Each structure stands twice: as structure tokens, then as C-alpha cells.
Chains A and B, each alone.
Chain A
């Protein structure tokens, strides 16, 4: 009897797991089980799963093929794992932002260095600015150096001002690497206490 009960529970377990997040019912049936399995694996590994669900929903709303949705979710899972490993103890938004930074071209060592320089502050904005800078054309090494140079003293709001300034300079014709380097130097000087 016990064996029959266990077999029945085992047989119905996939149904229960698939029912974990009703939002995933919007996915194409061809890709839904694989995405659910990835989400479950990520949850078991202690990774934030909301970014995975949202990436799958994004692909579905945009009409992407099941293969592309699955590839995107799979790649994001890898990036989240790498970001968590590089950051150590981190919040879900930090891991999500770290995954974006890694995908943009930042190195895991950059994330670890950022954590070392801001051990008690949120890294969401610095990591987001790092990814944004690379997206605007700043080379990953230059972007990482700029963000790290500001890490010790710069509050979130100043990071966002720094990013806007770099974007404005690029829009006005400045080379992205030069814009980031110059604005980083200026921002660092602004934040240095004067006697």
C-alpha cells in the first residue's frame, strides 16, 4: 500500500511542479516543461527564479520561438549562477544585475572586486551602470575600471548621474572609452573630500 502511494505521488509530482507558477502557463507547451525544469533547478540551487520566469514571459510576449526562449532562459540561468558565485552573499536584485553585467562582458573578478569595495551597500546600481555603459559602447574593461574607481564613495544617485553624463558625452560625439574615463576621473575628484 505504501509502495502504491509512493508510486502515485511520484507519478503526479511533475504535474504539481509544473503548476508551481501559473504565469508559466502562458508559455508554448513545447517549451513549458523545459522552462519549468530550469526554474526548479535554479530554485533548488538557491538562485533567484523571478528573472528566469520574466525572461520566458518576455520571449512569449514578443512571439519568440520556443527554441529561442529556452536558449535565453538557459543562458540567463548560467549567468545568474556565475554572478552569485562571484558576488558571494548577495540579494536577488544584485545577482540579477550581476548576471546582466557578466553578459555585457564584465569579468567575474570585476564583480568580486566591486563587492570587496562596497561590502555593506547594494551593488544593484553599480552593476547596472556597468552593464549600461557597455551597452552604450564603452569597452568592458574601461567600464569596469570606471565603476570600480567610484565604488568606495559614490552613492547610487551619483552613479546614475555619472552614467547619464557618459551617455550624453557619447551622444555629442565623444569616444565611449574616453567619455567613461574622463567622467570617472571627474566624479572621483568630486567625491574626494577637500581640506
Chain B
């Protein structure tokens, strides 16, 4: 490097080495400018927002009177809500024909654990003309207890079917077994 360049280079170096004095309010101005910029937001996730709303613990303030009213409401709902038997993997029912012979009967019904032992649920029809009474009922596989009710008051087991074990009520019942496989 020639001597003619030493002086400018030395001045430039000296200038570069000089400490830079910054404005004391620079940081504050920069942060204010950043804060003024709009913050980019992600698209609202409604499911997440709902979950957060549902999962956030809350404190409920309830008077004893309101608590009693709520409990009474639960009891009333339980009382009046239509109840349905539990449904499992119910196998397909089989059509089972019930036959009863009585020429003198005015009415014959079959009652059993397939119709809640309701004498009005499954009346038999008389096969005209004669003494034969018949009804066909779909039954799911299983063992079903039943009996006939003649003229609304006389209980009769089925003479053509096995008697049910455990006659707990001094009125014998019969049993029909519906198989579920081959």
C-alpha cells in the first residue's frame, strides 16, 4: 500500500472504530412500531374453541332451593322418560304357532314372557268351524314360559308342550324352546 493511501485509510478506520452513539429512545420507538403492527391470527378453530369452553372449570352458584328443584326435575324426568328394554345383538325371531283345543271357550289368549303375561296381548283366533284356536307369534331364540287363559279367567298349561319347572304360583305353565342354531 502506498503512503499516499495511508492517511485516508487511517481516517476511515478511525471512523469505523468510533463508538456509535444511539438515541436513548430508539428501543422504545421500535417496540411501539412493532406493537402498532396488526398481529397475524390463525383461522379460528371452532371445535377447539368449543372444547376449551366445555373443559374450562367453572364455579356454579346455586341456592339450596334451586338444588332441590334441579333434583326434583331429574326425578320427574326419570319417572316419565319412556323406558325401553336394553337392545343387544338380538337374534332373528322364529314364527311359533300356539294351538289350543276347546269347543266351549268364548275367548282364548296366550300369555307368557314374550308378551309380559298380558292376557290382552295375544288372543287366539278360532279356526272356523270347530274347537281349534290358533295364533302365531315371533319368538327370539331362548326358553319361553307361557300358558293359555280361557274366557279371561281359567289358566291352562299347553297339553302338547313340556311343563315349566318351578311352578311358583300353583298355576302350571308350559315351555317352548326356540333354538338359535342348526
Contact = CB atoms under 8 A, between A and B. Distances in A.
B142 A96 contact: yes
Interface string A91-109: 0110011001001100000
Interface residues of A, number: 57
Contacts of B116: 23, 54, 57
Nearest to B75: A12
Interface in B66-120: 67-68, 70-72, 74-75, 78-79, 83, 85, 88, 111, 113, 116-119
Contacts of A159: 179
A129 B168 contact: no
Which of B74, B78, B111, B165 has the most C-beta atoms of chain A within 10 angstroms of its own C-beta?
B165
Nearest to A11: B71
Interface string A43-62: 00000001100110111111
A159 B86 CA distance: 30
A15 B78 CA distance: 8
Which of A19, A50, A96 has the most C-beta atoms of chain B within 10 angstroms of its own C-beta?
A19
A125 B179 contact: yes
Interface stretch (B36-44, B46-54, B57-65, B129-137): B57-65
B162 A132 contact: yes
Contacts, number: 146
Nearest to A133: B162
Contacts of A76: 166
Given A15-B75, A15-B79, A124 B166 contact: no
Which of A69, A76, A128 has the most C-beta atoms of chain B within 10 angstroms of its own C-beta?
A128
Nearest to B146: A58
A64 interface: yes
B168 A96 contact: no
A117 B145 CA distance: 27
A-B residue pairs, 7 tightest by C-beta? A156-B179, A8-B71, A16-B78, A93-B142, A72-B168, A54-B113, A128-B177
12 contacts: A1-B67, A4-B67, A8-B68, A8-B71, A55-B168, A96-B142, A124-B178, A125-B177, A125-B179, A128-B177, A135-B162, A167-B162
Interface of B: 61-64, 67-68, 70-72, 74-75, 78-79, 83, 85, 88, 111, 113, 116-119, 140-143, 145, 155, 162-166, 168-171, 173, 175, 177-182
